[in-house]
Amino acid sequence: MALCSLYVVLALYGMALFAEFFAPTTKEWRSIDHIYCPPQIPRVNFQHGIHVQALQKQKDPITFRRYYTLVPDRVIPLGFFVKGEPYKLWGLVSMDRHFFGIRRAGNAGTPNAETRVSDYESRGKLGLSEAQLATGDAHLETFYLLGADKIGQDIFSRILYGARISLSIGIASIISTFILGIFFGGISGYVGGRVDNLIQRSIEIINSFPQIPLWLVLAALVPADWSPLRTYFAITIVLSLLNWTGLARVVRGKLLSLREEDYAVAARLIGAGHSRIIFRHLVPGFTSHIIVSLTLSVPAMILGETALSFLALGLRPPIVSWGVMLQDCMKFQVIADYPWVLMPVLFIVLTVLAFNFLGDGLRDAADPYSAH
């Protein structure tokens, strides 16, 4: 399970790193003709290859509820490494190839997100068939793997872009947690006495606060007019301030048992400084335990960011994260009518389980007394 989880984590981070390539559309792309379009599951046959059935929006005349019906004899061909909407990979390299998407005649690009294609000549440039040109329904040529949201954006594409924020904020928070945990835990375990007592009592006070309400208070202090980048780093710091205590306890416990070892005493006798003894001799002795502890802390960071963003106290649009996407689920009626807006939850659960299984596997591997 740990090995499989490692592959899952690597796949998630790989897709997040190359989100522009793996996403069928860009994060700004939208189609107002496909608001709350349901997921379109690809099919395979010898006649059409990989394809999906085209959908057409309908509206109930009594309840005004939107729903979609299959268009008879209309298929949308799909393919790998197809040309689509242009983008810049990492904001640097201009590309128009997508890993998976609509395979158009002549391999032309997708329609503009904001413009409804209506004239005959423009539709011809898109590589549409004669039947589509005659009927004038180019807007049917849309593919949503996991459905669309309230403004017609592709949920799957936004999940990949959101993974870049949600997964990276966990790693960024872990870096801050590592620095604070090693520093205070190292001083507490090595110095001992009143310093140890002061740090431990402070940790107990921090741990006594309810975590989510305290997160909300700290996140509410972030000014609403801050730029997305400043808000990102602010939320990273907020998550780090409350999660370093567990690592500090682990470091303290290990240092209490290692500081009287022969090599530590020998280092003190030859005049080595305290900081050198802690960070050069003692901490490397239990690096594996630190890695395990940090790995198991990543899911908590991801869930923390998701909770804050879901409550509109963390990251805010136009930033795309899994928590921001779940803001569309505030109303029960939306979930009842369009359950696919909860798709980001599946990726959150998958990520948390993968990190937990990976952390358990690393803990077993790092334990010298475990039976292999």
284 and 173 together in one domain: yes
Nearest residue to 26 via CA among 336, 351, 320:
320
Judged by average pLDDT, the poorest of 108-112, 150-154, 362-366 is 108-112
Last residue of one domain, picked from the residues 140, 169, 200: 140
14-72 pLDDT, tens digit each: 999 998 899 888 888 888 888 888 888 888 888 888 888 888 888 878 877 778 888 87
Q: Which domain does 181 fall in, by range? A: 155-366
192 and 66 together in one domain: no
CA atoms within 13 A on the CB side of 44: 1
Give the pLDDT score at 105. 63
Any domain includes 9: no
191 and 111 together in one domain: no
178-193 CB burial, b ≥16 within 10 A, e <16: bebbbebbbbbbbeee
On whether the pTM is more than 0.85, the answer is: no
For residue 256, pLDDT beyond 70: yes
Q: Which residue has the tokens 């431990």?
A: 200
Q: Where are the beta strands (DSSP E) in 162-290?
A: none
Across 346-358, average pLDDT: 90
Any domain includes 19: no
219 and 82 together in one domain: no
Any domain includes 21: no
335 and 304 together in one domain: yes
Helix (H, G, I), strand (E, B) or coil at 370: coil
Any domain includes 76: yes
89 and 175 together in one domain: no
166-216 pLDDT, tens digit each: 888 878 888 888 888 888 888 888 887 888 899 989 888 888 888 777 777
317 and 223 together in one domain: yes
- 8 Å CB contact between 159 and 351: no
Grade residue 119 by pLDDT with cuts at 50, 70 and 90. Answer: very low
For residue 120, pLDDT beyond 80: no
| Number of folded domains that form the chain | 2
Last residue of one domain, picked from the residues 75, 109, 140: 140
**Helix crossing, 155-191 with 2-17: angle to 10°?**
120
Any domain includes 131: yes
311 and 179 together in one domain: yes
For residue 7, pLDDT beyond 90: yes
Any domain includes 233: yes
Report the CATH number at residue 203: 1.10.3720.10
- 8 Å CB contact between 291 and 362: yes
262-296 pLDDT, tens digit each: 888 888 888 888 778 877 888 777 777 787 777 87
For residue 113, pLDDT beyond 50: no
170 and 57 together in one domain: no
249 and 126 together in one domain: no
Any domain includes 323: yes
Across 231-255, average pLDDT: 82
The Cα 119–Cα 126 span in angstroms is 11
For residue 136, pLDDT beyond 70: no
173 and 312 together in one domain: yes
Task: Provide, rounded to the nearest whole percent, the portion of the chain with pLDDT above 70.
Answer: 88
Any domain includes 20: no
Burial of 320 (0-12, 13-18, 19+ CB in 10 A): buried
Give the pLDDT score at 368. 54
Last residue of one domain, picked from the residues 91, 113, 140: 140
Judged by average pLDDT, the poorest of 93-102, 240-249, 279-288 is 279-288
229 and 275 together in one domain: yes
